[in-house]
Chain A
Amino acid sequence: MTFPILSSILLAPVIGLFAILLTPRKYETLIRLIGLVAAAITLVLSIRLCFLFNAQDPAFQFVENIEWIKSYGINYSNAVDGLNISMILLTSIVIFCGVLVSWTITFRVKDFFANMLFLVSGVFGVFMTTNLFFFFLFYEIAVIPMYLLIVIWGSTNKQYAAMKLTLYLLLGSALMFAGFLYMYSLPGGHTFDLVALKQNVSFSPEIQKILFLGLFLGFGVLAACFPFHVWSPDGHVAAPTAASMLHAGVLMKLGAYGILRVAVYLLPQGAHYWAPTIAVLSLCNIVYGAMVATQQKDLKFIIGYSSVSHMGIVLLGIATMTPIGFNGAIFQMFSHGLMTALFFACVGWIYDGCHTRMLDELGGLSKKAPVISTFFIIAGLCGLGLPGMGSFVAELLVTIAAVSTYPIIGIISILALLITAYYVLSAVQKAFYGPFNHHHEHFTDINFFQFIPRAILVGCLIFFGVFPQIFIQWISVSTRALLGV
């Protein structure tokens, strides 16, 4: 039997979680170390996975399959193809950096790291499973710890934000739940296995239309699709730094990934039918998110709304229903994940030092803390799509696909990039340049240890920005297979 690399990635945080639960709460450094080791194992294994991955093969690779509940067609099955390999890599990078960034947490350390590892095991599970039962199971595992993370360690209106986030996401998952069970009940179904459902069930066009709508709404909530995005800025702002990183960086991608993996894969006709609607909604995301971001005073709210706007680019890529659009969407998911993680990692440091995130109360920080300012500015430049950064290539691909499929929407989305440039640059200008606010005299730049996680994120962003063909090569065979072209 070959080494079950996917299960190992999934089990490393689970084992870490139990190790933390068994460690007495006074050994805080040990608890942090356990978290770090678990995250490091997943990172090493995912990098190894990327090297072993055969990009020319559109079929599932590294398949692991164990019968779980036979009578309901539920198997514990994991597999990797071009759609999820980058997501697994992204998750492990973000959790590794997230653990390092949360080294400064001192309140209820044990509970914090236990929740983080629990959450990330749910995320890994969603990305690698090919069975709808486990998809749903891991999805909810990823949502619930977020409630505790926000409510215990959060800031700014945290109780409201946490409850809003949880109820929104679970309402979305309720639609998924009903959709999955409906697919199970169709003739030829009686299984929750994705591949078996695809092969055995013939979804009639009418059913595809209704089911796709239900699933899209379910996943769309998590992908922050307009008008279901309202939970996301509140949630991002209220969450503690590492949770925001994971949440905006990875969790929101679960929704977009679910649309591709489940809805588009099983219901291609439904996807074609609804694609124009999705395109319009995604344009709302892009423009509306950017417009609102220009009006925000709180750095975290700016990033929160910029996430809404950037997720719109992902959805627009999906809505084009072309291989180029899909490639761009997945690339955008990846680079946006790294970028927002970097954003939140920087804002977290500033908030810890200055105890404010309001633009009016910051100012001239680059004189006092050049390194953290540089990191923030790099993230900002990435956000506005500077060439040489990952998101430039991603946005280019999506806009190329969008202009040829939906010319008007494509052109408006390009113009919206100007708004993005405006709010990013003005935020940078207000917070890091201009007169220095002397309330923040005691604010210090990051130390070397805290430099590492942010440097890793920047490194990945630039690496995939300079060598995008590596990334495109991973995914393009699978996206073509998904579209059947």
Chain B
Amino acid sequence: MNFSLSLFIPETLTLIFSAIVFFMTLFKKETIEKTLHPFMIFCALVLAAGSFYSIRFHGTLFYDSYKVDLLSQGFKFILSIAFLLTVLFSEKPISIGQARRVEYFLFLLSSTLGMMMIVSSVNLLMLYLALELSSYSLYLLSALRQDSRTAEASVKYIIFGAAASGVMLWGFSLITGLSGTISLFEIAKNIPTLILEPIFLVGLLFASFAFLFKLSGFPAHFWAPDVYESAATPVTNFIATASKAAAVAILIRIFMVMGVPPKFVTILGVLAFISMTLGNCVALVQQDVKRLLAYSSIAQAGYILVGLLSGSAEGYSSGFFYAFAYVLMNAGAFLAVILVAQALDHDNPQISHFDGLAERSPFLSLLLLLSLLSLAGIPPLVGFTGKWILFSAAMDKGHWFLVLWGVINSVVSLFYYLTIVKHAYLEKPKNTAPIILNFTTRVLGLALFCALVFLGIFPNTFIRFAQQAISASGLL
């Protein structure tokens, strides 16, 4: 085995940082209180730089069970960005007590490590380990909240999550039993014969169930509203961005390896249809903003599935593009939620708490407006361009009904996004105290603002990158 550490840079960095943070738990809280957050920002920046540096590396590790290519490295970069954003959001998370800050960052790091390993895994066992590492960290993260709703999210999350893992393992065992191997590439070689076996389809479906669970797509969506609502907001942001990106990555990888048999496309199409409809319809009546964003993420999972089930290079590359767009626009929305929650000193802001945000902080409400419109797919923002290419890939394969339904759903979704906007711009605030943004938040907001607009208008470079990533993985 030719082990080259340079291929493993982002993961190694994450490991080292986790070890350091782990030792930090030994110190008294007061001594590290001041240095912890700046140190974490430093770690996140180094991690992002490391991921960016290693973006063109390629090769395999650990007896061909771990593949480093443009696809995996691209997603690792997206994950490191999502991690950086979450760290920047966590200067003073209101519902995570001072005593638990170190653990909070430790589990953020370990979860990021798990997700980075997910996107590179090309072996069923490795994939399972990586998934569990990231999931268990997320279960713990969602339990860290310190007010009245401490463990609610975590208990729900862990029960549903464990069930999903079980189903996935069952699916893996069926696939392994039929093909006699756990390596995705070996399985890919046998696809022409395997595809004829109905039980293979069942295995694939069971395995996909767990990935849908991570993506919060129907029928594995039910955890999302509760967990989003009762986890601390920065944790919700992490689940909504990083975890979703990892889920898209693994779906792309699995679909590319296994192909998407016609029957499977039909089933996925139905799931996407229900996901979109259910997510958007239920979101219409939500009052809790985090819960609303959870239902919107269920709907978004449907859009992503519509693109991925096209099974073409365009579909996968646009899925890649949309994953990045999704991280950016969700982060923008959550930044506003976090700041409103901080001003309110309560971690579950309702829509009515956004009243008069435009007067309290014009810039923040503009960012919220852009992020929500981008989620709804309004040009010239990145969500629009992402949706355009996702849907054109699906249309190319003749899924005109899903596309039409998807666009109509976007219109429905605009209703609840605009409701928040209306509250921010139109209603009179009960609390007129302006929300002061500190320097970091200002820069961060401006960066998100520019990214949303710039990537929406000039997406060519990134689309080309995504296409290269898909073709470089050499599976199509």
Q: A residues engaging B (CB < 8 A)?
A: 25, 68-72, 133, 136-138, 140-141, 144, 147-148, 151-152, 159, 163, 166-167, 170-171, 174-175, 177-178, 181-182, 184-185
Pair B407/A174 contact, Cβ less than 8 Å: yes
Please report the C-alpha to C-alpha distance between residue A136 and residue B389 in the assembled complex, in whole angstroms.
13
Instruction: Give the distance in Å from the alpha carbon of A390 to the alpha carbon of B464 in the complex.
Output: 50
Per the 8 Å Cβ criterion, residues 157-179 of B in contact with A are none
Chain A to chain B contacts (Cβ below 8 Å), 21 pairs: A69-B459, A69-B463, A70-B460, A72-B389, A72-B463, A137-B384, A138-B379, A140-B379, A141-B379, A144-B373, A144-B378, A152-B426, A159-B426, A170-B414, A174-B404, A177-B407, A181-B388, A181-B392, A182-B400, A185-B395, A185-B396
Complex contacts, B425 vs chain A, CB 8 Å: 148, 151-152
How far is B395's CA from A294's CA once the two chains are assembled, in angstroms? 47
Q: Which of B391-420 contact A (CB under 8 A)?
A: 391-392, 395-396, 398, 400, 403-404, 407-408, 410-411, 414-415, 418
B107 to nearest A CB, angstroms?
Answer: 39
B37 close to A (CB within 8 Å): no
Residues of chain A lying within 8 A (CB to CB) of residue B396: 184-185
Digitize B304-338: 1 where CB-to-A-CB distance is under 8 Å, 0 elsewhere: 00000000001000000000000000000000000
Chain B: CB-nearest residue to A181: B395
Partner of B392, one of A159, A175, A184: A184
Decide yes or no: A136 and B379 within 8 Å by CB, A167-B414, A185-B398 being known contacts.
yes
19 further A-B pairs in the complex, CB-CB below 8 A; given A167-B415, A170-B410: A71-B463, A133-B388, A136-B388, A137-B379, A144-B373, A148-B425, A152-B425, A152-B426, A163-B418, A171-B408, A175-B404, A178-B403, A181-B392, A181-B403, A184-B392, A184-B396, A185-B392, A185-B396, A185-B400
Docked complex Cα distance between A163 and B314 (Å): 35
Contacts of B392 in A (CB 8 A): 72, 181, 184-185
Cα(A9)–Cα(B392), bound, Å: 30
* B379-392 interface bits toward A, Cβ cutoff 8 Å, 1 = contact, 0 = none: 11000100011011
Tell me the smallest distance from the CB of A13 to a CB of chain B, in Å. 14
Write out the residue numbers on chain A whose beta carbons fall within 8 Å of the beta carbon of B403: 178, 181
Task: Tell me whether B422 is interfacial, beta carbon within 8 Å.
Answer: yes
Answer whether residue B241 sits at the interface, using C-beta atoms and an 8 A cutoff: no
Shortest distance from the beta carbon of B59 to any chain A beta carbon, whole Å: 27
A147-B418, A151-B422, A152-B426 are known contacts. Are A140 and B378 too (CB-CB below 8 A)? yes
Known: A71-B467, A144-B378, A151-B422. A167 touches B411 (CB 8 A): yes
C-alpha gap A185/B399 in the complex (Å): 10
A71 touches B464 (CB 8 A): yes
Q: Report the Cα distance A97→B471, complex, angstroms.
A: 53
Distance (whole angstroms) from the CB of A287 to the closest CB of chain B:
30
Output the least CB separation between A162 and chain B (Å): 8
- Cβ of A184 and Cβ of B460 under 8 Å apart? no
Residues of chain B lying within 8 A (CB to CB) of residue A141? 379-380
Q: In chain A, what residue has the closest Cβ to B458?
A: A68
**Hey, which chain B residues are within 8 Å of A178, CB to CB?**
395, 400, 403-404, 407
Q: How far is the CB of A239 from chain B (nearest CB, A)?
A: 15
Shortest CB distance B474–A (Å): 19
Residues on the A chain within 8 Å of B362, using CB: 25
- Given A166-B418, A184-B392, check contact A69 B384 (CB 8 Å): no
Q: Give every chain A residue within 8 A of B460 (Cβ-Cβ).
A: 68-70
| Chain B residues near A159 (CB-CB < 8 A) | 422, 426
CA distance A166 to B389 in the complex (A): 23
Contact B407 A163 (CB under 8 A): no
Residues of B within 8 A of A137 (CB): 379-380, 384
Which residues of A are found within 8 Å of B379, using beta-carbon distances? 136-138, 140-141
Give CA–CA (A84, B147) in the complex, Å: 61
Contact A184 B414 (CB under 8 A): no
CB nearest to A114 among chain B residues? B366
B134 to chain A, nearest CB (A): 32
**Residues from chain A with Cβ under 8 Å of B459 in the complex:** 69
Whole-angstrom distance between the alpha carbons of A68 and B418 in the complex? 30
Interchain CA distance A314-B444 in the complex, whole Å: 49
Task: Select which of A25, A69, A181 is within 8 A of B391 by beta carbon.
Answer: A181
Closest 10 CB pairs of A and B: A174-B407, A137-B379, A181-B395, A178-B404, A185-B395, A170-B411, A185-B396, A177-B407, A69-B460, A140-B379
Shortest beta-carbon distance, B442 to chain A, in Å? Answer: 15
Distance in Å: Cβ of A288 to nearest Cβ of chain B? 26
A147 neighbours in B (Cβ, 8 Å) = 418
With a cutoff of 8 Å between Cβ atoms, the chain B residues found around residue A171 in the complex are 408, 411
B residues in contact with A170, CB < 8 Å:
410-411, 414
Which of A70, A141, A177: most chain B CB closer than 10 A? A177
**Chain B nearest Cβ from A215, distance in angstroms:** 13
Tell me how far the C-beta of B317 lies from the nearest C-beta in chain A, rounded to whole angstroms: 9
Q: Check if A184 sits within 8 Å of B389, measured CB to CB.
A: no
Q: In the complex where A71-B467, A159-B422, A163-B418 touch, is A184 in contact with B395 (Cβ < 8 A)?
A: yes
Asked if residues A166 and B400 are in contact (CB atoms below 8 Å), the reply is: no
How far, in angstroms, from A177 to B402 measured CA to CA in the complex? Answer: 13
CB-CB contacts below 8 Å: B348-365 with A? 362
Which residues does chain B contribute within 8 Å of A174, judged by CB atoms?
404, 407-408, 410-411
Residues of A within 8 A of B422 (CB): 151, 159
A148 / chain B contacts, CB cutoff of 8 Å: 421, 425
CB pair A140 B384 closer than 8 Å: yes
The residues of B that contact A166 with a CB separation of less than 8 Å are 414, 418
Residues of A within 8 A of B388 (CB): 133, 136, 181
Assembled-state Cα–Cα distance A170/B415 (Å) = 11
Interchain CA distance A70-B389 in the complex, whole Å: 12
Q: For the complex formed, measure the closest distance between the CB of A81 and the CB atoms of chain B, giving whole angstroms.
A: 25
Of B373, B391, B395, B403, the most chain A CB neighbours within 10 A belong to B395
Give A72 to B400 CA distance when docked, in angstroms: 18
Chain B min CB distance to A159 (Å)? 7
Q: In whole angstroms, how far apart are the Cα atoms of A137 and B389 in the complex?
A: 13
A138 to B404, CA, bound (A): 20
Which of B379, B389, B460, B467 counts the most chain A CB atoms within 10 A?
B379
Bound-state Cα–Cα, A137 to B396, Å: 20
CA distance A32 to B396 in the complex (A): 47
CB-defined contacts of B378 to chain A, threshold 8 Å: 140, 144
CA distance A405 to B384 in the complex (A): 42
- Which residue of chain A is the closest to B396 with respect to CB atoms? A185
The CA-CA distance from A138 to B378 in the complex, in Å, is: 10
Which of B420-469 touch A at CB < 8 Å? 421-422, 425-426, 459-460, 463-464, 467
Contacts of A72 in B (CB 8 A): 389, 392, 463
Pick from B380, B384, B459, B464 the residue with the most CB of A within 10 Å. B380
Bound Cα distance from A352 to B403, whole angstroms: 46
**Given A140-B379, A185-B392, A185-B396, A163:B384 Cβ within 8 A:** no
Task: Name which residue of chain B comes closest to A184, CB basis.
Answer: B392
Report how far A445 CA is from B418 CA in the complex, Å: 39
Q: How far is the CA of A159 from the CA of B425 in the complex (A)?
A: 12
Closest Cβ of chain B to A119, distance in Å, is 13
Contact between chains at B400 and A163 (CB < 8 Å): no
Interfacial chain B residues near A184, Cβ < 8 Å: 392, 395-396
Give, as a whole number of angstroms, the nearest-CB distance from A466 to chain B. 41
Cα separation A170 to B373 with both chains bound (whole Å):
13
Residues of A within 8 A of B404 (CB): 174-175, 178
Set of chain A residues within 8 Å of B415, measured between Cβ atoms = 163, 167
A157 to B273, CA, bound (A): 35
**Nearest chain A CB to B195's CB is how many angstroms away?**
25
Closest to A139 in B: B379
**Contacts A140-B384, A144-B378, A185-B395; is A151 near B407 (CB within 8 Å)?**
no
Taken together as a complex, chains A and B put the C-alpha atoms of A71 and B464 apart, in Å, by 8
Q: Which residue of B lies closest to A140 (CB)?
A: B379
A151 to B426, CA, bound (A): 7
Residue in A closest to B410 when the chains form the complex, CB atoms: A174
CA distance A117 to B410 in the complex (A): 25
